[in-house]
Chain A
Amino acid sequence: MNIELVDICKSFATPEGSVRVFKNLDLTINSGEFVSILGPNGCGKTTLFNLIIGLDKEYSGYVKLDHISDRKTIIAYMMQKDLLLPWKTVYQNILIGLDIQSKVNSDTKAHVTQYLERFGILNLIDSYPSKLSGGERQKVALIRTLMLDSEIMLLDEPFSAIDYNTRLELQAQIHLLAKENNKTILLITHDIDEAITVSDRAIIFKNKPNGIFKDLEITFDVQKRSPISVKQDPKFAAYFSEIWQSLSKQDER
């Protein structure tokens, strides 16, 4: 399913007056694409997600999602913080979204178990979040998002607060899952490595009131894309340099 944002203008009221975040922003994300969004702090990356999912409705222009009236059933949103409910076990936390959408059925437990096994945390199924490490919490939050089985996934810096090894593991998993299930994924990240590793496309935002500074297609000639294999590809350094320069140029302004 395509996501199309047309002529989006968005401002925030602040005590110092109105701050414009987007001015005539046009953006199209094609079905099945994995797109990373990079840009300076405060350039409107999270605001973009809120517009796409419909949490923020105060804007002009329009977000076209093939005329879907209830966007929330086809979009899953994973926020920066894991936001696990401390009074629920891992299993119960994973079910929250499904429970709200009344999608829990007889296959749910088996499905959750598969994901937990895949992410290596099946032994934690009945644990409370207070017993989990940062990486384990993030894995649970990711499974909670994946369980919604939405066509579109919005990931807002989901791996920023976890250790390097776990991050590489999750990057590999999320890329694989996206391709296996033909998901459309938008990932906000500050990590250029991460953006190159998992994405088909990297979009670099300008400082506000912004638009798109660079829209870069990322392809690798490797059979099985993984955080290790792409780093060994000569193209990796070239992509890194291009994205780095795009971001640095904005800092200089």
Chain B
Amino acid sequence: MKRKALNIFLGLLPLIAFLLLWEFVIATTSKKMFLFSSPSLIYHSLVENFQNGILPNDIWVTGQEALYGFVIGNIVGAFIGLSLWYSKRIANLTRPYIIAIGAIPIFSIAPMMIIWFGTGMYAKVMLAAISTVTIAITQSYEGARHVDIQQIKLFQSFGASRTQIFSKLIVPSSLVWLFNSLKLNISFALLGAFIAEYISAEEGLGHRIFKAGGTYDVALVWASVICIVLLAFLFSGVIFLFEKTLLKWK
């Protein structure tokens, strides 16, 4: 117990040192304060904007967009990736397209998403989904591809059909890879939602950062960034719980 507390303290030590240094250095001039803000100002901004409801609303909006995009992108991606196991030829044919989609900077297609799907939640969800789908495809396909050939032969020796091999062996075997994809995609889903909000939105953390940056409210920018990090921690925690439940054998 003592050791655990010590480890936590040691882990937090660099952060505490950095915040103290930041606070100390910035306090020397008001120009630096204006440009960089300070931990105490950020804290006050966080408290103030939580109390007036601005940040909770933004967290709710961005969280929803990222969550829906995350779920859609991962489900579609996992479905496509696992389905590619059925046909090596289709997998080979589609590989360049998957690489191409993955290579597109998400920022570059954000304006088109706004044009096609409007400035509401739909465009943000779509961008979050597109941000996650490639990783979900590649990870689930790799998971399916890495199933031990001997294991497939064993199932064949039982007389298993291709559908039985898929449902009873390929899908469960790929779960570890799918969870890796989920963990990676948390930040991509948040990034997709953030970019869409940054370009055009009325609310959300991306919009808040854009607006606060425009008015040189650096403390609020940092406060919003902290909220995004907290959202990522929340998503990670939920994925961790799911993983512990579904992969309890690990």
A229 within 8 A of B: no
The CA-CA distance from A101 to B247 in the complex, in Å, is 26
* Given A85-B172, A100-B168, A128-B249, A73-B159 contact (CB < 8 Å): yes
Complex contacts, B172 vs chain A, CB 8 Å: 85, 87
Name B168's contact: one of A83, A96, A148 (CB within 8 Å): A96
Contact present for B159 and A72 (CB under 8 Å): yes
A97 within 8 A of B: yes
The CA-CA distance from A75 to B159 in the complex, in Å, is 10
Contact present for B169 and A85 (CB under 8 Å): yes
Nearest-neighbor residue (CB-CB) of B160 within chain A: A100
The CA-CA distance from A96 to B247 in the complex, in Å, is 19
Cβ proximity bits A48-79 to B, threshold 8 Å, 1 near / 0 not: 00000101000000000000001011011101
Contact present for A79 and B150 (CB under 8 Å): yes
Contact present for A83 and B157 (CB under 8 Å): no
Give the interface centre of A70, A76, A85, A129 by most chain B CB atoms within 10 Å. Answer: A85
A31 within 8 A of B: no
B156 within 8 A of A: yes
Nearest-neighbor residue (CB-CB) of A72 within chain B: B159
Complex contacts, A250 vs chain B, CB 8 Å: none
Residues A195-220 near B (CB distance < 8 A): none
B7 within 8 A of A: no
Total A-B residue contacts, Cβ distance less than 8 Å? 52
Complex contacts, B160 vs chain A, CB 8 Å: 100
Complex contacts, B85 vs chain A, CB 8 Å: none
Contact present for B158 and A72 (CB under 8 Å): yes
Nearest-neighbor residue (CB-CB) of B247 within chain A: A87
The CA-CA distance from A21 to B155 in the complex, in Å, is 25
Residues B210-238 near A (CB distance < 8 A): none
Complex contacts, B249 vs chain A, CB 8 Å: 86-88, 128-130
Complex contacts, A77 vs chain B, CB 8 Å: 154, 157
A81 within 8 A of B: yes
Q: How many residues of B contact A (CB 8 A)?
A: 20
Nearest-neighbor residue (CB-CB) of B165 within chain A: A100
B61 within 8 A of A: no
Cβ proximity bits B50-73 to A, threshold 8 Å, 1 near / 0 not: 000000000000000000000000
Name B157's contact: one of A53, A99, A130 (CB within 8 Å): A53
Contact present for A100 and B150 (CB under 8 Å): no
B175 within 8 A of A: yes
Residues B134-179 near A (CB distance < 8 A): 148, 150-151, 153-160, 164, 168-169, 172-173, 175
Residues B41-55 near A (CB distance < 8 A): none
Complex contacts, A100 vs chain B, CB 8 Å: 155, 158-160, 164, 168
**Minimal beta-carbon separation of B196 from chain A (angstroms):** 37
Nearest-neighbor residue (CB-CB) of B148 within chain A: A83
Complex contacts, A70 vs chain B, CB 8 Å: 159
Complex contacts, B156 vs chain A, CB 8 Å: 55, 72
The CA-CA distance from A178 to B143 in the complex, in Å, is 39
The CA-CA distance from A249 to B45 in the complex, in Å, is 87
Contact present for A81 and B157 (CB under 8 Å): no
Give the interface centre of B150, B153, B157, B158 by most chain A CB atoms within 10 Å. Answer: B157
* Given A86-B249, A87-B249, A101-B158 contact (CB < 8 Å): yes
Name A96's contact: one of B153, B158, B173, B175 (CB within 8 Å): B158
Contact present for B154 and A83 (CB under 8 Å): yes
Residues B169-204 near A (CB distance < 8 A): 169, 172-173, 175
**Minimal beta-carbon separation of B169 from chain A (angstroms):** 7
The CA-CA distance from A83 to B151 in the complex, in Å, is 6
The CA-CA distance from A75 to B156 in the complex, in Å, is 12
Excluding A75-B157, A96-B168, 6 further A-B contacts by CB distance (< 8 Å) are A72-B157, A79-B154, A83-B150, A85-B151, A85-B172, A87-B249
Q: Could you write out 27 A-B pairs with CB less than 8 Å apart?
A: A53-B157, A55-B156, A55-B157, A70-B159, A72-B158, A72-B159, A73-B159, A77-B157, A79-B150, A79-B153, A81-B150, A83-B150, A83-B151, A85-B151, A85-B173, A87-B175, A88-B249, A96-B168, A97-B158, A99-B168, A100-B155, A100-B159, A100-B164, A100-B168, A101-B159, A128-B249, A130-B249
10 residue pairs, one from A and one from B, having the closest CB atoms: A72-B159, A77-B157, A128-B249, A97-B158, A100-B158, A100-B160, A87-B249, A83-B154, A83-B151, A87-B172
